[in-house]
Amino acid sequence: MIPVQGFAGARIAILGLGRSGLAAARSLRAGGAEPVCWDDNPAARAAAETEDFAIADLSRPGAFDDIASLIVSPGIPHLYPAPNPIVAAALRAGVPVDNDIGLFFRSWATGQWDEFDVMPRVVAVTGSNGKSTTSALIHHILREAGKPTQLAGNIGRGVLDLDPARDGEVVVLELSSYQTDLARALTPDIAVFTNLSPDHLDRHGGMGGYFAAKRRLFSEGGPDRAVIGVDEDEGLFLAGQMAQTPADDRVIRISVARKLAGPGWNVFARKGFLSEYRKGRQAASIDLRSITGLPGAHNHQNACAAYAVCRALGLAPRVIEAALRSYPGLPHRSQVIAEAGGVTFVNDSKATNVDSAARALAAFPRIRWICGGLEKEGGLQALNAHAGNVAKAYVIGREAAAFAMQLDVEAEICTTMARAVERAMADARPGDTVLLAPAAASFDQYDNFEQRGEDFTAQVRARLADEAGE
């Protein structure tokens, strides 16, 4: 646990008592503050009461009269599409609003660090797609290199649940736009921007607000180094704003769309080869094509970002390459779950938007595509340009027929995962990939994308076992 600094003796309100909210309450109490908790869900309030936290209805008049700050959980809107009424009441009362990420950055460093030989550092990763894999990959490389490291944020543990820093430790944080948008302190040593595509637009008031939320990771605290994907206009703009000169190696540009030239520090992947260039000269190269845990151009972008971070942390290319080859991949993200009869089965349930699904479709040569679910804003037309490798689509979800009508490939309405897996396996031939890449949210049929991926995995394994007579 990281005790929160700066609030000793103060009453701090906490809105939302999920994982991050309860962790914030514990850390505030450990730092000498008095947490005052509220959640609309009675079960969440009851769970907080079992830990002896004070419960107070923050919607009542005068609730913020003696409150020093309000800590808000990520899922609660503070501006768009409309502020939560309790957040609005706090702002009208002049009470500062923050989240657990802001508390972490103000509390991570302590006086004990004076005894360390090497200062701990924080790597923070944001972007629309690939941030989970990039974060996990950096963490994996550091562990394989024997470096002390922890992984937290939008993946793994909550930031305030981390253990106190060790000498030379590197903490890797995955941060969503919901987390970066509100945090009052954002001071990573290395900040990573993977890419940008439309997502969460209602929460941020459009693409401009969405990009602004991501950009805060770079503008609020000024990281020592910035690793920036420049395959979209927003990334190009951000890299240009962060660099003082064309040769400024505090900015490492990454790409999977083109070779990056110029006098700066560049890492890019083309035709399956990762290349590092510094001052216009090649410094290293890695063949990514045989690394099973990182299939496709989208994972090659993740590899470029992780490689750049680890080079900035002082690791040698050969050390990074060895760790890349041992990376097992993350569940639900281009995860190979089985191979049988020449057919590969891949669980990419995390591909919940059009852009991430398009990246998955580009990663395999002949695809039996399981897709569908709760459609997001913008429709599916952009996917059709990336469906050249799709032999057939098998559509799930409550609105499967409407989803299928937007696809320019042969599509079968299956509705359920069980039916989709059955039909895809019946049609599959050696060399095919049965790919779950829904391009939609899961909430019409599942609690979350993990549950959807687990269902796909269970259905595939059960049918393979039946075919094997087990």
The enclosing domain of 378 has a CATH number of 3.90.190.20
133 in a labelled binding site: yes
Q: Is 127 annotated as a binding residue?
A: yes
pTM of the complete model: 0.85
**Cα distance between residue 16 and residue 99, in whole Å:** 11
Is 330 among the domain residues? no
326 labeled part of a ligand binding site: no
Residue 447, domain member (yes or no):
yes
Task: Check residue 70 and give its pLDDT.
Answer: 98
| Cα–Cα distance for residue pair 244/212, rounded to 1 Å | 21
Same-domain check for residues 17 and 54: yes
Long-range contacts of the stretch 387-392 (C-beta < 8 A, 24+): 387/361, 389/361, 389/362, 389/364, 389/365, 390/361, 391/366, 391/367, 391/427, 391/432, 392/368, 392/424, 392/427
Query: Residue 334: what pLDDT?
Result: 86
- The total number of structural domains in the chain stands at 3
131 annotated among ligand-binding-site residues: yes
Task: Kindly state whether residue 470 falls inside one of the protein's structural domains.
Answer: no
Q: Are residues 56 and 123 in the same domain?
A: no
Distances (CA, A) of 372 to 77, 286, 332, 400, 402: 27, 36, 15, 6, 10
What size, in residues, is the chain?
Answer: 470
CATH number of 82's domain: 3.40.50.720
Does residue 267 share a domain with residue 183?
Answer: yes
Regarding whether 41 and 77 lie in a shared domain, the answer is: yes
Domain shared by 192 and 246, yes or no: yes
* 6 within some domain: no
Identify the pLDDT of residue 126: 97
Domain boundary among 98, 123, 140: 98
Last residue of one domain, picked from the residues 98, 127, 156: 98
- Is 31 within any annotated ligand binding site? no
pLDDT of residue 190: 98
Which of the listed residues 66, 98, 130 is the one where a domain comes to its end? 98
Phi, psi torsion values for 140, nearest 5 degrees: -65, -45
The domain that holds 249 is classified in CATH as: 3.40.1190.10
Q: Which domain holds residue 80?
A: 11-98
Q: Would you say residue 469 lies in a domain?
A: no
DSSP state of 160: G
**Which residue in 216, 243, 255, 441 sits closest to 349, CA to CA?**
441
Residue 387 lies in a domain: yes
Residues 401, 424 share a domain: yes
Residues 291 and 160 in one domain: yes
Are 156 and 287 part of one and the same domain? yes
- pLDDT at residue number 328: 84
Whether 177 has a binding-site annotation, put simply, is no
Residues 321, 351 within the same domain = no
130 annotated as ligand-binding: yes
Q: What is the phi/psi pair of residue 467, to 5°?
A: -65, -30
Q: What is the DSSP letter of 164?
A: P
Q: Collect the ranges in the chain with pLDDT lower than 50.
A: none
Q: What is the pLDDT of residues 2-11, one digit of tens each?
A: 999 999 999 9
Task: For residues 244 and 117, state if they share a domain.
Answer: yes
259 falls within a domain? yes
DSSP bridge pairs for 231: none
| Residues 237, 366 within the same domain | no
Q: How far apart are CA 332 and CA 132, in angstroms?
A: 11
Q: Are residues 340 and 317 in the same domain?
A: no
Digit-coded pLDDT (tens) for 381-404: 888 889 999 999 999 999 999 999
Is residue 130 situated within a structural domain?
yes
